[in-house]
Structure 1
Amino acid sequence: MSPESLPSPRPCSMSDALAVLGDSYSLPLLRELFYGFHRFSDLATLTGAPRTLLTGRLRKLEDAGVIVRRQYSEHPPRYEYHLTEAGADLIPVILTLKEWGERHTGDGVAKAVFRHSCGAELHPQATCSQCHREIRPGDFEVMGGTHPPVLHA
């Protein structure tokens, strides 16, 4: 195939999401916000992010509408960071990544356990909103938009 006949990359919402969340420290920041830590000093300590890098990540997440900055002290000016509605929508993503990491990585770190408000241990999974069965490879088809791609040999 000549370079002119190769398909161009198609738009992809997963790539768009990774452009916002894929930087180092972005997901650990969101994890700590989800756990209830909101102050810059706590976020720096808990993520291990250098302060200048942390500032940039927080600004990027704020610009993307994932978090909001709220002033809690005027003298000196100090801010807390909180999840927006868009940030709260990431909770299932963060929980699912945590669950995947615990199943498939061997980092030797003690695993956190989450309890749902019903009292059960929480193990997130993707399910169909209609039939409530777990979604597995081969259980769905992609239609519309730029999917599926049409590649010509």
Structure 2
Amino acid sequence: MHNDPPQPPTEVLDTGTCWDLLRGVSVGHLAVLVNGYPEVFPVNYKVDQQSVVFRTGEGTKLRAAGGPLAVALEADGHDDAKAWSVLVRGKAVILEPSEELLAGPGLTLFPWEAGKKDHYVRIVPTSVTGRRFTITSPLTWWDHVGHAAPVDSA
């Protein structure tokens, strides 16, 4: 039994805060459906107004994102005391290269992985949700090895 102080409740974030947090990190996880099963890919992204843009090459990710099904992008982060998670759900649109795109988010969008990444994809959101919570001390979960919890014999 622990006498830890009660933790504050999880904070549901408003859309503006979600976008601000998304702008502060550059890597998220893209979720798509491939042959009826979920697949998750790490992507470098940029927020462009009220959407998310990433670069990719030919392959599974591009085919799935360009299909008729919705996609999701999740990103998260933390500081010493709090963690957050934001989920962008929507439709992915494969973009035609343009001066506006290349001067905007495309100018500073550099994938970490080498290779040809000449396709730009925009996620047009239907919903943006997020939450933030206090990080619990690891000691909260500590269970002393060799000292089993008492068993109620009643």
Tell me the TM-score normalized by structure 1. Answer: 0.23
Answer 1 or 2: which has greater helix percent: 1
Tell me the TM-score normalized by structure 2. Answer: 0.23
Larger relative contact order (CA 8 Å, sep ≥ 6): 2
